[in-house]
Amino acid sequence: MDPELNYFNYFTEIERFYQSKRESFTLLSTLDWVLIENWKEEGLPLDIVLKGIDRAFSRAKRRINSLAYCVKAVEEVCEEQKGLTVESPRLPDFSADEVVAYLRKLAAQVESVDPVLAESIRNVDSSDLRTAEQTLSALEEKLIAKLKASAVDKTMIELKQTVDRELNAFRSTMTTPQLAMLEQQMWRRKLLEHVGLPRLSLFYLI
């Protein structure tokens, strides 16, 4: 994978390739997003993912309508090329001013939910992107915990039901650990979406 490939390009390349294989424009679902995030976080090179998607389509006996149907094929390609797939997710290159502006934007969005957390976001050291990303990740954990604690039971039940519905079609094609990971990541993303908040990550600085 091109070492200069940033998170946004990783996402768009997979999206475009998937659409070309389906031969139609398809908006990716939350589950698709989570899968791409997970592949990126695991350090899977783009070419491994694309080969897996291509393999899934080449042997599909029915129309593929989610990247979830490609998970096993991606894992197969990854296993075949084991030892060549260990990469650290690379943060995009941005100027200090861009990072500071982005942190201020995140802080402004979080302000109404947690002013203290918002101030912590503003104070993130933008001079070291790796450390800044780690700090944002820790702050996101705090944000998720607060949102979960303050959410009414009805909201959490509805979010869980939505996640369950989206995963039901793929329970026979994924392992229990895979499903558990996807379920956790999906409800976290949906919880943030429910209150109109973004992920706290520099990978979305595009």
200 in the same domain as 162: yes
Please give the Cα distance from 7 to 123 (Å, whole number). 24
The total of structural domains in the chain comes to 2
pLDDT score of 109: 94
Residues 75, 110, single domain; the answer is no
Summarised one tens digit per residue, pLDDT across range 79-123 is 888 755 555 555 556 778 888 999 999 999 999 999 999 999 999
Per cent of the chain over pLDDT 70 is 90
Q: What is the pLDDT of residue 50?
A: 94
pTM of the predicted model as reported, rounded to 2 decimal places:
0.68
Tokens of residue 77, six digits = 């390609």
- Is there a single domain that holds both residue 30 and residue 120? no
Q: Could you give the angle at which helices 129-150 and 176-194 cross, rounded to 10 degrees?
A: 80
Same-domain status, 111 and 72: no
Amino acid present at 32: D
Evaluated on CA atoms 183, 21, 62, 46, the torsion sign reads: negative
**Mean pLDDT score across all residues of the chain:** 84
Tell whether 69 and 104 lie within a shared domain: no
Same domain? 75 vs 130: no
Q: How far apart are CA 81 and CA 79, in angstroms?
A: 5
Do residue 134 and residue 159 come from a single domain?
Answer: yes
Domain boundary among 21, 45, 80: 80
What confidence score (pLDDT) does residue 152 get? 87
Q: Which residues of the chain have pLDDT under 70?
A: 1-8, 83-93, 206
Q: What is the pLDDT of residue 2?
A: 41
Same domain, 100 and 74: no
Q: Are residues 61 and 33 in the same domain?
A: yes
What pLDDT score does 93 carry?
Answer: 64
Residue 2 lies in a domain: no
Confirm whether 89 is domain-assigned.
Answer: no
State whether 152 and 55 are in the same domain.
Answer: no
Where in the sequence is the domain holding 183, given as residue range(s)? 96-204
Q: Determine contact, residues 80/183, Cβ cutoff 8 Å.
A: no
Q: Answer yes or no: is 114 within a domain.
A: yes
Considering the domain boundaries, does residue 88 fall inside one? no
Residue 56 and residue 153 in one domain: no
Which of 21, 52, 80 is a domain's end point? 80
Based on the domain organization, do 73 and 142 belong to the same domain?
Answer: no
